[in-house]
């Protein structure tokens, strides 16, 4: 294998056939490509030539991973370049580092973050390698370039937030600390904004489930309607990344405007001496929110708080690795190329389809479709609305059938006496009846419907008829085919058709403008204060008396996925809360350690 002589960082998604489905690379990586292959700088970013070069370079790695029974997950070259590989379903994710700034665990975290972003963008389509290929690699080169630039910009935004924002350093949501204002905003979202939106005839069948206000990356207020499910911390962090990508924060407190200076003076008047009691996850339920020795965090709506707690504990109970975890803040992934991206400014009235976890009474359903509305109130302050789309019940049905066919496939692999058979008994006659009704309920006019119907008919013929082979290993390919067709229906309804359907099935532009105006009117007197408060959320003054020599602290409650910490440095000409220098580096390195 030929590897590059220069510093480099790269992220890659590839199919089993060594086809590049997505890539991101930094300047050093692209320069090494240019030197090695003599590619001109003008053609370096052109597709598909650059993809072909990447396919050639990574093909030996990809093919070996797909053919070896016990494939490697990482390796280091003679030049000390680290390669980390992870197989997610039918796609191989690869991360590369050649400058020594990232270790193996850091690269693996980057792959999990990339996987999370892909899931939020494409939902259950990620379960089918063939369909994900169609989404990530459209035949139209310009469309592909736009899609890749958007996903690359999300990674750039995440990298910058991780470098400059303490909440992304420890991967937990940070709330603005002002109990009176937070409670006022939550009450406003509940009793006025969400009620008016959901009672309007202009909502076109959509229902607002969650509404929250961000000040830069900090959460001012969060409200979930009573019939809303959970919003997990990892989903909320992903949405904050998307909101920041749409409306980037660009605030320098060293060049404060008169408005910001007024906000700073107001902040100093309102500062109250408080102490903080750091509690562990197991003590979270028994810790009171009042009292002289406890730091008060404003309560979110009941559904949002319970959702964050249950979502994180469920992942821990299942033994899964959280999507967001401690990562290396020193990595500047694509900061060099951030200015080269030419993303068209977003249309405020156009929602973005996102796929999030939903907890119902009968179980957890990942990657359920929602519409995300990002409404800028002022620079740095954003209102985000998450709505339930009218056809979301279809996604739940698709997921249930995907689970059924996945369980059946495992049973067929193991044989009827295998452990999967005992753990998950299946009533195939019941599944057959429900699947027949499900197919009849679909729109019969599109090609995807016909394909699902034909595959299901063949499956029934082989599984249930006397002339068929019955339930044995010969049925495994048809289980896979059924899962692909179900993902195809999901893709048709929530990705392909969403481009045209969203024009009519979404909150009207007028309704969005009224929501924007309502929140602006409520917060106009607090605007300048909030912008400063987001940079000086809490101060160290009150803690120095109780903790002499205290330099910095970060308190993270993993039960709720929230954190609190003072800003270490805001006097330098930098947007980083952690500042620069030996103290900041020491704290970042400590956070990285397990």
pTM: predicted TM-score of the whole model, two decimal places: 0.79
Contact predicate 79/66, CB 8 Å = no
**Same-domain pairing of 588 and 540:** yes
- Where b means 16+ CB within 10 Å and e means fewer, 218-233 reads bbbbbbbbeebbbbbb
**Same-domain pairing of 458 and 572:** no
Partners of 356 in beta bridges = 368
Beta strands in 268-411 (DSSP E): 352-360, 363-378, 381-388
Range of the domain at 469: 393-499
**Same-domain pairing of 84 and 65:** yes
**Which of 451-460, 537-546, 548-557 is least confident?**
537-546
- Whether residue 374 has pLDDT greater than 70: yes
**Same-domain pairing of 316 and 274:** yes
CB proximity list for 320: less than 8 A, separation 6 or greater = none
Last residue of a domain, one of 98, 122, 137: 137
Q: What is the pLDDT of residues 578-590, one digit of tens each?
A: 555 666 676 667 6
**Same-domain pairing of 283 and 306:** yes
**What are the C-alpha distances in Å from 245 to residues 161, 270, 382, 541?**
10, 31, 12, 34
Residue 256 lies in a domain: yes
Contact predicate 166/174, CB 8 Å = yes
Residue 148 lies in a domain: no
**Same-domain pairing of 420 and 344:** no
User: Percent of the chain at pLDDT above 70?
Assistant: 72
Query: Average of pLDDT values for 447-465?
Result: 90
Last residue of a domain, one of 117, 137, 157: 137
**Same-domain pairing of 514 and 451:** no
- Whether residue 267 has pLDDT greater than 60: no
Q: What is the pLDDT of residue 256?
A: 46
**pLDDT band (50, 70, 90) for residue 274:** very low
Residue 519 lies in a domain: yes
Residue 44 lies in a domain: yes
**Same-domain pairing of 26 and 45:** yes
Q: Please tell me the distance from the alpha carbon of residue 257 to that of residue 251, in angstroms, as a whole number.
A: 10
Q: What is the pLDDT of residue 65?
A: 87
CB proximity list for 185: less than 8 A, separation 6 or greater = 213, 220, 221, 522, 523
CB proximity list for 450: less than 8 A, separation 6 or greater = 444
**Same-domain pairing of 515 and 422:** no
Peptide bond into 193 cis (omega under 30): no
Q: Please tell me the distance from the alpha carbon of residue 413 to that of residue 80, in angstroms, as a whole number.
A: 41
Q: Please tell me the distance from the alpha carbon of residue 438 to that of residue 434, in angstroms, as a whole number.
A: 6
CB proximity list for 21: less than 8 A, separation 6 or greater = 13, 14, 15, 91, 132, 133, 136, 137
Residue 159 lies in a domain: no
**Helix, strand or coil for residue 379?**
coil
Query: Average of pLDDT values for 35-64?
Result: 74
Query: Among 25-34, 321-330, 541-550, which range has the highest average pLDDT?
Result: 25-34
Q: Please tell me the distance from the alpha carbon of residue 573 to that of residue 125, in angstroms, as a whole number.
A: 44
Query: Average of pLDDT values for 232-261?
Result: 76
**Same-domain pairing of 360 and 411:** no
- Whether residue 22 has pLDDT greater than 90: yes
Residue 443 lies in a domain: yes
Residue 574 lies in a domain: yes
Q: Please tell me the distance from the alpha carbon of residue 116 to that of residue 108, in angstroms, as a whole number.
A: 13
**Same-domain pairing of 86 and 210:** no
**Same-domain pairing of 408 and 374:** no
* Total structural domains within the chain: 3
Residue 371 lies in a domain: yes
Q: Please tell me the distance from the alpha carbon of residue 95 to that of residue 106, in angstroms, as a whole number.
A: 10
- Cα dihedral 523, 527, 532, 534 sign: positive
**pLDDT band (50, 70, 90) for residue 197:** very high
**What are the C-alpha distances in Å from 235 to residues 36, 40, 212?**
40, 40, 13
CB proximity list for 299: less than 8 A, separation 6 or greater = 183, 186, 289, 305
Partners of 20 in beta bridges = 14
- Whether residue 404 has pLDDT greater than 70: yes
Helix or strand holding residue 562 (H, E)? strand 562-564
- Whether residue 363 has pLDDT greater than 90: no
**What are the C-alpha distances in Å from 381 to residues 249, 293, 547?**
9, 31, 34
Report strand pairing: 173-174 vs 562-564.
Answer: parallel
CB atoms within 10 A of CB 199: 8
Last residue of a domain, one of 452, 475, 499: 499
């Amino acid at each position: 294998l030929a590897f590059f002589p220069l510093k480099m960082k790269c992220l890659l998604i590839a199919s089993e056939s060594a086809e590049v489905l997505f890539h991101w690379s930094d300047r050093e990586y692209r320069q090494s490509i240019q030197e090695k292959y003599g590619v001109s700088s003008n053609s370096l970013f052109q597709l598909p030539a650059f993809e072909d070069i990447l396919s050639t370079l990574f093909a030996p790695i990809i093919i070996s991973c797909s053919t070896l029974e016990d494939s490697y997950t990482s390796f280091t070259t003679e030049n000390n370049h680290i390669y980390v590989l992870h197989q997610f379903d039918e796609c191989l994710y690869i991360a590369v580092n050649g400058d020594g700034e990232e270790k193996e665990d850091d690269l693996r975290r980057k792959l999990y973050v990339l996987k999370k972003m892909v899931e939020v963008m494409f939902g259950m389509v990620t379960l089918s390698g063939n369909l994900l290929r169609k989404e990530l690699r459209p035949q139209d080169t310009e469309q592909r370039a736009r899609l890749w630039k958007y996903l690359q910009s999300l990674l750039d935004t995440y990298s910058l937030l991780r470098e400059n924002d303490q909440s992304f350093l420890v991967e937990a949501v940070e709330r603005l600390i002002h109990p009176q204002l937070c409670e006022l905003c939550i009450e406003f979202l509940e009793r006025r904004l969400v009620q008016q939106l959901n009672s309007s005839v202009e909502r076109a069948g959509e229902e607002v489930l969650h509404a929250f206000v961000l000040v830069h990356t900090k959460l001012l207020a969060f409200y979930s309607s009573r019939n809303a499910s959970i919003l997990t911390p990892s989903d909320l962090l992903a949405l904050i990344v998307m909101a920041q990508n749409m409306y980037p924060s660009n605030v320098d407190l060293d060049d404060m405007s008169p408005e910001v200076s007024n906000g700073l003076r107001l902040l100093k008047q309102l500062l109250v001496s408080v102490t903080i009691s750091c509690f562990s996850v197991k003590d979270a339920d028994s810790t009171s929110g009042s009292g002289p020795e406890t730091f008060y965090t404003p309560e979110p709506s009941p559904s949002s708080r319970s959702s964050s707690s249950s979502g994180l504990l469920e992942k821990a109970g299942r033994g899964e690795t959280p999507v967001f975890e401690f990562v290396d803040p020193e990595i500047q992934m694509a900061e060099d190329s951030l200015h080269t991206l030419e993303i068209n400014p977003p249309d405020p009235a156009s929602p973005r389809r996102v796929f999030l976890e939903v907890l119902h009474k009968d179980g957890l359903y990942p990657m359920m479709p929602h519409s995300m509305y990002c409404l800028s109130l002022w620079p740095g302050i954003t209102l985000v609305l998450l709505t339930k789309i009218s056809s979301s019940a279809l996604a739940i049905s698709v997921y249930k059938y995907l689970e059924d066919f996945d369980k059946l496939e495992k049973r067929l692999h193991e044989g009827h006496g295998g452990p999967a058979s005992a753990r998950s008994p299946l009533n195939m006659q019941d599944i057959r009846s429900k699947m027949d009704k499900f197919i009849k309920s679909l729109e019969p006019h599109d090609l995807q419907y016909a394909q699902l119907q034909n595959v299901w008919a063949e499956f029934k013929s082989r599984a249930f008829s006397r002339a068929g082979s019955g339930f044995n290993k010969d049925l495994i390919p048809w289980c896979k085919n059924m899962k692909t067709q179900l993902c195809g229906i999901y893709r048709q309804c929530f990705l392909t058709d969403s481009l045209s359907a969203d024009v009519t099935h979404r909150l009207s532009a007028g309704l969005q403008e009224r929501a924007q105006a309502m929140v602006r009117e409520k917060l106009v007197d607090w605007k300048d204060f909030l912008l400063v408060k987001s940079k000086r959320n809490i101060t160290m003054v009150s803690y120095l008396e109780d903790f002499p020599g205290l330099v910095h602290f970060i308190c993270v409650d993993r039960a709720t996925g929230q954190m609190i910490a003072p800003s270490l440095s805001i006097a330098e000409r930098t947007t980083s809360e952690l500042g620069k220098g030996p103290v900041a580096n020491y704290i970042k390195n400590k956070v990285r350690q397990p």
